[in-house]
């Protein structure tokens, strides 16, 4: 009887679920508590990682990149981290480990932490907290202190009317001029037009252009320099006034200085290196080269022509003379003993028209036709830039930014067709003039503007390429 009762009980499955549930309840509670606490710990880690990201980025902002004291940088990052890491559910606000590595203008900063997230089920897990850790690394290169040397072409070729509409207007305005200056798109500046004193009936083409409000290419260059050094320029940095250079100096928390030079057959100093605002006051002195009259740019002491041929553009000499002015560049940091970087901004139409000695001198055989001799001892060379001087400058660690104001094709002009057209083939954007100027420029610092293009925007964009600085979160 007892035996049958035991067997019947063993075969009965009606209460097994309750037994199994009772047996599984402990691990289920354990897993549930662990899951909830782990999920909360993961959420805290994400929030702390965001705090570490913010702290790392804060330490490589432009304003901080100029700070050479690593303890100040660490304190700034720590303060940002503490403000964002003061979270409920942590046993304490973690103290980060902050590593700052500077190498020249580059900075790398790593913010790491270890924190304890409070468990909601400590008795289940057998521990009061769950440890979480993480790190963030940010890198940036600070914008360096820089000196900018504006080297501007003021030769007669920059007197061409600035747009096709202005060219048409200029040609119409010169119909009454003497034959050599009649129906001409160039507003050349002559002290004695037609080799005579100026008068109401003997005007140089620049006078005609000014009287008819014709915009010349030199005017657009002047406007571009004005926007760069004086403005007005809309700056996102509140409270900053002035031009593009002042704006970027404020945004990058750096120091910029500027010098202005023009060149024709010689280098002309408009303003030596100074603040952008001071340099801006000398912008009105940017003027076209004045020649005495056609085929006689310069007179000697007796009133005679020094050379009986036109000339007036020596880009190589301009670059050579500016190179002599510029000191050896530094890296541009604020560290003791360091000096600013040096940058040349060359604005030109790219064609030289210069004199060289016959003895020991030669025009570029790959880029010029023979031209009439200036005199018994001098050759005249009309050719694209020889880039040897550019290489010399760049080898010193000085960057060259080139804005090419494209040499306008003049297919109806015989001198252009016989002397210049070959340099503009297949186009003014791709011919020898353009390719040599692009070769002169430092990598990424070349821009070209066609006739009628926005020179102000092009010069500003070129400056922003040089001055821009970025920070990146790499981990």
Domain 146-160+216-474 of CATH type 3.40.1180.10 = no
Asked if pLDDT for residue 360 goes beyond 60, the answer is: yes
| pLDDT of res. 425 | 83
Mean pLDDT of 24-49: 68
DSSP state of 420: I
What are the strands of the beta sheet with 256-263, ordered from one edge? 267-274, 256-263, 146-153, 341-348, 399-405, 446-449
Which residue bears the tokens 């679920």? 17
Distance separating alpha carbons of residues 391 and 315, to the nearest angstrom: 14
Banded pLDDT at 449 (limits 50, 70, 90): confident
pLDDT over 70 (residue 26): no
Residue 223 binned pLDDT confidence (cut-offs 50, 70, 90): very high
Per-residue pLDDT reduced to its tens digit, 296-345: 888 888 888 888 888 889 999 999 999 999 999 998 888 888 899 999 99
Phi, psi of 200 (to 5 degrees): -65, -20
Give the integer Cα–Cα distance in Å for 450 and 165. Answer: 14
- In DSSP notation, 114-183 reads EEEEEPS-HHHHT-SEEEEEEEEEEEEEPPPPEEEEEEEE-SGGGGBBSSHHHHHHHHHHTTTS-GGGTT
Contact yes or no for 313/265 (Cβ under 8 A): yes
Q: Which of 21-30, 229-238, 378-387 has the lowest mean pLDDT?
A: 21-30
CA max distance for the chain:
151
- Per-residue pLDDT averaged across 44-64, rounded? 83
Which range is least confidently modeled, 141-145, 206-210, 354-358? 141-145
Whether the predicted pLDDT of 459 surpasses 80: yes
Beta bridge partners of 400: 344
Answer for the pair 458, 449: CB distance below 8 angstroms, yes or no.
yes
Which pLDDT band holds residue 232 (cuts at 50, 70, 90)? confident
Instruction: Give the model's pLDDT for residue 3.
Output: 63
31 band by pLDDT with thresholds 50, 70 and 90: low
Per DSSP, the residues of 217-276 read: HHHHHHHHHHHHHT-----SSTT--SSHHHHHHHHHT--EEEEEEEESSSEEEEEEEE-H
- Of the two residues 13 and 170, the one the predictor is more confident about is 170
Give this prediction's pTM.
Answer: 0.74
Q: What is the rounded average pLDDT of the residues 29-33?
A: 55
Joined tokens for residue 217? 């290419």
Burial class (CB in 10 A: 0-12, 13-18, 19+), 317: middle
For residue 229, name the pLDDT band (cuts at 50, 70, 90): very high
What phi, psi does 193 have (nearest 5°)? -60, 140
Region 210-239: mean pLDDT is 87
- Give me the pLDDT at residue 474, please: 55
266 pLDDT higher than 70: yes
379-428 residue pLDDT tens: 888 889 999 999 999 999 999 999 999 887 777 777 778 778 888 888 88
Q: What is the pLDDT of residue 41?
A: 74
Query: What sign does the CA torsion over 310, 316, 320, 325 have?
Result: positive
Please state which of the ranges 24-38, 175-189, 287-301 shows the lowest mean pLDDT: 24-38
Task: Sketch the domain layout of the chain as residue ranges.
Answer: 11-141, 146-160+216-474
What are the pLDDT digits (tens) for 134-182?
888 888 777 789 999 999 999 988 988 888 889 889 999 988 888 878 8
Cis omega (within 30 of 0) for bond into 426: yes
Q: Has residue 193 got a pLDDT over 60?
A: yes
59-73, 115-129, 212-226, 393-407: which range is least confident on average? Answer: 115-129
Name the band, by pLDDT with cuts 50, 70 and 90, for residue 374: low
Structure tokens at 301: 């002491």
Integer Cα distance of 97 and 12 in angstroms:
64
């Amino acid at each position: 009887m007892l035996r049958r009762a035991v067997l019947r009980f063993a075969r009965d499955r009606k209460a097994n679920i309750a037994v199994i549930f009772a047996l599984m309840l402990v691990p289920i509670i354990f897993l549930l508590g662990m899951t909830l606490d782990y999920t909360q710990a993961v959420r805290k880690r994400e929030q702390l990682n965001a705090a570490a990201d913010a702290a790392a980025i804060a330490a490589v902002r432009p304003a901080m990149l100029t700070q050479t004291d690593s303890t100040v940088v660490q304190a700034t990052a720590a303060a940002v981290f503490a403000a964002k890491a003061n979270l409920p559910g942590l046993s304490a606000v973690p103290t980060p480990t902050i590593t700052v590595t500077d190498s020249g203008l580059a900075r790398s900063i790593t913010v790491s932490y270890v924190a304890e997230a409070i468990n909601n089920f400590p008795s289940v897990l057998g521990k009061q907290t769950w440890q979480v850790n993480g790190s963030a690394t940010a890198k940036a290169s600070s914008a360096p202190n820089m000196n900018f040397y504006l080297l501007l072409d003021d030769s007669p070729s920059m007197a061409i009317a600035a747009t096709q509409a202005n060219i048409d207007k200029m040609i119409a305005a010169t119909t009454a001029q003497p034959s050599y200056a009649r129906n001409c798109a160039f507003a050349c500046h002559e002290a004695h037009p037609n080799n005579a004193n100026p008068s109401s009936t003997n005007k140089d083409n620049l006078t005609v252009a000014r009287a008819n409000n014709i915009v010349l290419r030199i005017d657009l260059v002047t406007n571009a320099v004005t926007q760069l050094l004086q403005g007005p320029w809309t700056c996102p940095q509140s409270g900053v006034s002035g031009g593009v250079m002042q704006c970027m100096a404020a945004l990058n928390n750096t120091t910029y200085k500027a010098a202005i030079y023009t060149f024709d057959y010689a280098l002309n100093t408009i303003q030596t290196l100074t603040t952008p605002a001071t340099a801006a006051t000398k912008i009105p002195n940017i003027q076209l080269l004045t020649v005495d009259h056609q085929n006689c740019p310069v007179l000697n002491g007796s009133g005679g022509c020094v050379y009986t041929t036109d000339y007036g553009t020596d880009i190589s000499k301009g670059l050579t003379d500016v190179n002599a002015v510029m000191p050896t560049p530094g890296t541009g940091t604020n560290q003791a003993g360091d000096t600013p970087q040096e940058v040349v901004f060359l604005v030109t139409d790219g064609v030289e028209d210069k004199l060289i000695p016959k003895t020991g001198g030669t025009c570029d055989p790959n880029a010029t036709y023979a031209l009439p001799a200036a005199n018994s001892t001098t050759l005249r060379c009309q050719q694209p830039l020889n880039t040897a001087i550019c290489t010399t400058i760049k080898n010193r660690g000085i960057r060259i930014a080139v804005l090419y104001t494209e040499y306008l094709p003049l297919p109806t002009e015989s001198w252009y067709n016989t002397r210049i057209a070959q340099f503009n083939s297949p186009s003014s954007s791709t011919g020898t003039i353009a390719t040599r100027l692009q070769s002169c420029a430092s990598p990424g610092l070349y821009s070209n503007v066609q006739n009628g293009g926005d020179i102000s925007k092009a010069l500003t964009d070129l400056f922003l390429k040089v001055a821009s600085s970025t920070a990146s979160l790499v981990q």
